[in-house]
Amino acid sequence: MKKAAIIISRTIIVLSMLALAGCSGNTDRSEQREHLVSHQLTIGFSQVGSESDWRVANTKSMKDTFCAANGYTLIFDDAQQKQEKQITAIRNFIQQEVDYIILAPVTEGGWDTVLQEAKDAGIPVIIVDRMVDVSNDNLYTAWVGSDFRREGEKACKWLRSYTRAMGIKAKELHIVNIQGTIGATSQIGRTEALESAAKKYGWDLLASASGDYARTKSKEVMESMLKAHGNINVVYCENDNEAFGAIEALRQADKSVGLNIRAGETLVLSFDGTTAALEHLLKGEIGLVTECNPLQGPAVRKIIETLEKEGAVPKQTYINEKVFAHDDTVESVMVHDTQYDITVVSQKLIDKRKY
């Protein structure tokens, strides 16, 4: 599409959006229209899928941010966890001559060709959540997400402090890891943190297998881990939905989940911090939830708005995150680390949770 045609098509979209979004108010209509025309942007967003509550919240954040009322047209594509579908979606966005592409990549590898195509078409690409492993970083403009390795380190630090305070020796910890989607940055970081802590402290890491960040698959993985190992007392789940599946499997196998390993309970750890996981934490059914914030829309919008003003944007933007623990564990963790920044879960906190 040539420039003039793009302007005409955007004008049409804006005019219809003025009606749709009810963007009226007291300002003069033509002035307002002019303002919106100059800010009207079309965004193509290739989302991984809808495998978890985190993902659903991430999609909602993008849709709420890049809405008509904010001056955006969002073309959304759900790739159902398949990279081929993401590549096709990006090619479609290029054909449609969108202004920006947002990509939440399923795994890190395999993006060079299609990102080069976007670059050749002059369309900036903003990566969100997981990272891409490309030959040249100039194939994308910016990345927004979490420090997954650090999340894993925070969880392991808590596990060490808590179990030491309970007088449990390192070799008495029999851990299994239900991993995320293999090759996703979040899986790589969280797995690496656990493996290196297990090595450093001498924990018994019995087994690792992927639950693909999904509840049903993780329940199956937990079932087979329970058949293979009779002594599991810690389950490290790389997201909340995996923890829900693992808890279901543990209960069906007549194992009790809880905070007291000494009394034979199985300690479950998870990542994300969705409302449902915090509710499990409050009941003591999950021992620790390391937050991973899915509400990335506003940070991405800020980047796009800066780019529109031809300003410089950071190559990487990390979102700040917390660690949530049950009140009963906090005191013992503090024995070993008084500086520990832990948020104690409460009903009040859960009531205010946005996802």
Judged by CB, which is closer to ligand GYE: 41, or 243?
Answer: 243
Task: Find out whether 161 and 336 touch, Cβ atoms under 8 Å.
Answer: yes
Judged by CB, which is closer to ligand GYE: 143, or 271?
Answer: 271
Task: Find out whether 181 and 187 touch, Cβ atoms under 8 Å.
Answer: yes
Per CB under 6 A, contacts with ligand GYE among 11-70 are 51-52, 54-55
Tokens 């493996």, residue? Answer: 195
3 state DSSP class of 134:
coil
3 state DSSP class of 314:
coil
Nearest distance from C-beta of residue 296 to ligand GYE, angstroms? 10
Per CB under 6 A, contacts with ligand GYE among 277-336 are 292
Nearest distance from C-beta of residue 292 to ligand GYE, angstroms? 5
Judged by CB, which is closer to ligand GYE: 171, or 318?
Answer: 318
Judged by CB, which is closer to ligand GYE: 52, or 266?
Answer: 52
Judged by CB, which is closer to ligand GYE: 238, or 265?
Answer: 238
Q: Tell me which H or E stretch contains 179.
A: strand 174-179
Judged by CB, which is closer to ligand GYE: 71, or 180?
Answer: 180
Task: Find out whether 226 and 253 touch, Cβ atoms under 8 Å.
Answer: yes
The rounded distance, in Å, linking the Cα atoms of 155 and 216 is 24
Print the binding letters for residues 230-249 with ligand GYE: x by CB under 6 A, - otherwise. Answer: ---------x----------
Give the burial class of 169: count Cβ atoms within 10 A of its Cβ; 0-12 exposed, 13-18 middle, 19 or more buried: exposed
CA dihedral 72, 138, 318, 300 (to 10 degrees): 0
Print the binding letters for residues 126-165 with ligand GYE: x by CB under 6 A, - otherwise. Answer: ---xx-----------------------------------
Per CB under 6 A, contacts with ligand GYE among 203-222 are 213
Nearest distance from C-beta of residue 171 to ligand GYE, angstroms? 29
Nearest distance from C-beta of residue 274 to ligand GYE, angstroms? 8
Instruction: Read off φ and ψ for residue 322, nearest 5 degrees.
Output: -110, 175
Q: Tell me which H or E stretch contains 327.
A: helix 327-336
Judged by CB, which is closer to ligand GYE: 237, or 259?
Answer: 237
Q: Is residue 186 part of the contact set for ligand GYE (CB under 6 A)?
A: yes
DSSP class of 137: G
Per CB under 6 A, contacts with ligand GYE among 261-280 are 271-272
Nearest distance from C-beta of residue 311 to ligand GYE, angstroms? 28
Task: For 68-115, give the secondary structure using H, E and C.
Answer: HHHCEEEEEEECCCCHHHHHHHHHHHHHCCCCEEEECCCCCCCCHHHH
Cross-strand pairs, 174: 204
Judged by CB, which is closer to ligand GYE: 184, or 304?
Answer: 184
Q: Which region among 18-26, 179-187, 256-264, 334-342 touches ligand GYE (by CB under 6 A)?
A: 179-187
Q: Residue 263 region, left (φ>0) first, then alpha (ψ -120 to 50), else beta?
A: alpha
Nearest distance from C-beta of residue 59 to ligand GYE, angstroms? 11
Nearest distance from C-beta of residue 121 to ligand GYE, angstroms? 27
Helices (H) and strands (E) in the chain, counts: 13, 13
Q: Which region among 21-29, 153-161, 180-188, 325-333 touches ligand GYE (by CB under 6 A)?
A: 180-188
Nearest distance from C-beta of residue 51 to ligand GYE, angstroms? 5
Judged by CB, which is closer to ligand GYE: 141, or 293?
Answer: 293
In sequence order, which ranges of 99-203 are alpha helices (DSSP H)? 112-120, 148-165, 185-201
Task: Find out whether 343 and 323 touch, Cβ atoms under 8 Å.
Answer: yes
For ligand GYE, the binding residues (CB under 6 A) are: 51-52, 54-55, 129-130, 180, 184, 186, 213, 239, 271-272, 292
